[in-house]
C-alpha cells in the first residue's frame, strides 16, 4: 500500500508484505529458525558480564556507551496485562513459536519497495552503502510520516478461546489516520485474490481483514476473499501508541481457524482518507 505526494515519487502496493503458515494450536516450546541479525537496539539484550567491564582507577577506556545499560525498543515490549507473553526473536527474517504465540520479525527500514534499486532523485542517496534505502519508493514530505510510517517490525499471532489475536508492531506510529494494514487468512495455494481497498497485491485467502482509519480511530473490516461480501461480525482493533502496536482480534464467529495450520499474509501501507482506500500514485 503506497504513498504519494506532489513533490515525491509515489509508490504502489504494500510497503511491507509477509506470508507464512501459522499453526493456531502450537506445540509448547517449539521454536523457529534465525538468520540475519536485526539492526536495532532491543530491551531484551543481556547486559555485559561484570567481569568484562573495566573497574580500575582513572578514566575508563572507550566511549561511555560501552558502560551504559541496554537500550529499549518499545515496539518489542509486551504491555503489562495484555494477552502477549513471548519474548521477541531479535533476529530479522526469523519466525518462532513461543509461549503459545507465532512470531515473525521483519527487517527494519526496508519499507521502500521491492525493487532493489534506488531512485536517483532521492535526497538520501548519499553514497553510503550501509544506510541507503534499498528501493525506489519515498514517503510524502509531511513530517508525520517520518520517512518510516509503514515499516513493519514484528507480527505475532495468538489463539484465544473465542478469537484470533494478531499484533502488528511498526517502527514508527505518529498518526493512526495515515496508516492501514491488511491480513489475508487461509486460502488455497496458487489461487489468489486481490487484497481489498486498492492494495495492489494479491494472495491466497479465504478471508481478508482490512484495518484502516475510521471517524474515531482504526477500525477493522472482515470480508470474504472470493465474493468480497463484508461480514457482519465486528473486528476489534486497539492501538498502543507508546509501543507503536496495533492489535486485531478476529472472532471465531467470523473466521475460525482452530486446530488448523492457516496461511497468513499481512501488509502495511498508507491510507488515503479522501478516497477511502490505500494511497496510490
How far is the C-alpha of 186 from the C-alpha of 195, rounded, in Å? Answer: 13
> Does 63 fall in a domain?
no
Enter the DSSP assignment of 196: T
> Does 253 fall in a domain?
yes
pLDDT-derived band at 280 (thresholds 50, 70, 90) equals: confident
pLDDT value of residue 136: 76
> Does 109 fall in a domain?
yes
> Does 133 fall in a domain?
yes
Using a CB cutoff of 8 Å and minimum separation of 24, what contacts does 26-31 make?
Answer: 26/97, 26/100, 26/101, 26/102, 27/97, 28/99, 28/100, 29/97, 30/96, 30/97, 31/96, 31/97, 31/98
pLDDT value of residue 138: 82
pLDDT above 80: residue 228: yes
What total of structural domains would you count in the chain? 1
pLDDT in tens, 246-265: 999 999 999 999 988 999 99
> Does 44 fall in a domain?
no
H/E stretch holding 213: strand 207-214
* Mean pLDDT over each residue of the chain, to the nearest integer: 82
> Does 45 fall in a domain?
no
CATH number where 31 lies: 2.60.40
> Does 59 fall in a domain?
no
pLDDT value of residue 171: 95
pLDDT value of residue 10: 32
pTM: 0.79
pLDDT above 70: residue 51: no
pLDDT above 80: residue 188: yes
pLDDT above 60: residue 42: no
pLDDT in tens, 121-176: 776 666 666 666 667 788 888 999 998 999 999 999 999 999 999 999 999 999 99
Please give the residue range of the domain that contains residue 85.
16-39+71-278
pLDDT above 70: residue 52: no
Average pLDDT rounded to a whole number, residues 194-207:
95
Cβ neighbours around 262 below 10 Å, total: 20
> Does 217 fall in a domain?
yes
Amino acid at each position: 500500500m503506497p504513498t504519494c505526494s506532489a513533490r515525491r515519487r509515489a509508490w504502489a502496493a504494500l510497503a511491507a508484505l509477509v506470508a507464512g503458515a501459522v499453526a493456531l494450536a502450537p506445540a509448547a516450546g517449539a521454536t523457529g529458525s534465525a538468520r540475519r541479525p536485526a539492526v536495532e537496539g532491543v530491551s531484551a539484550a543481556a547486559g555485559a558480564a561484570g567481569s568484562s567491564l573495566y573497574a580500575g582507577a582513572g578514566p575508563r577506556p572507550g566511549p561511555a556507551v560501552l558502560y551504559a545499560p541496554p537500550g529499549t525498543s518499545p515496539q518489542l515490549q509486551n504491555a503489562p496485562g495484555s494477552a502477549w507473553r513471548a519474548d521477541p526473536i531479535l533476529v530479522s527474517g526469523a519466525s518462532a513459536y513461543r509461549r503459545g504465540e507465532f512470531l515473525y520479525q521483519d527487517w527494519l527500514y526496508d519499507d521502500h519497495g521491492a525493487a532493489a534499486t534506488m531512485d536517483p532523485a532521492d535526497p538520501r542517496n548519499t553514497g553510503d552503502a550501509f544506510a541507503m534505502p534499498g528501493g525506489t519508493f519515498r514517503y510524502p514530505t509531511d513530517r508525520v510520516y517520518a520517512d518510516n510510517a509503514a515499516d513493519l517490525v514484528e507480527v505475532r499471532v495468538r489463539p484465544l478461546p473465542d478469537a484470533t489475536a494478531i499484533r502488528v508492531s511498526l517502527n514508527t506510529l505518529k498518526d493512526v489516520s495515515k496508516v492501514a494494514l491488511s491480513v489475508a487468512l487461509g486460502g488455497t495455494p496458487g489461487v489468489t485474490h486481490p487484497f481489498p481497498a486498492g492494495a495492489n497485491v494479491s494472495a491466497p485467502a479465504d478471508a481478508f481483514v482490512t484495518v484502516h482509519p475510521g471517524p474515531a480511530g482504526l477500525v477493522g473490516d472482515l470480508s470474504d476473499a472470493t465474493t468480497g461480501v463484508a461480514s457482519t461480525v465486528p473486528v476489534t482493533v486497539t492501538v498502543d501508541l507508546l509501543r507503536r502496536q496495533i492489535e486485531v482480534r478476529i472472532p471465531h464467529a467470523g473466521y475460525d481457524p482452530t486446530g488448523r495450520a492457516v496461511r497468513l499474509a499481512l501488509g502495511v501501507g498508507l491510507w488515503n482518507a479522501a478516497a477511502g482506500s490505500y494511497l496510490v500514485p
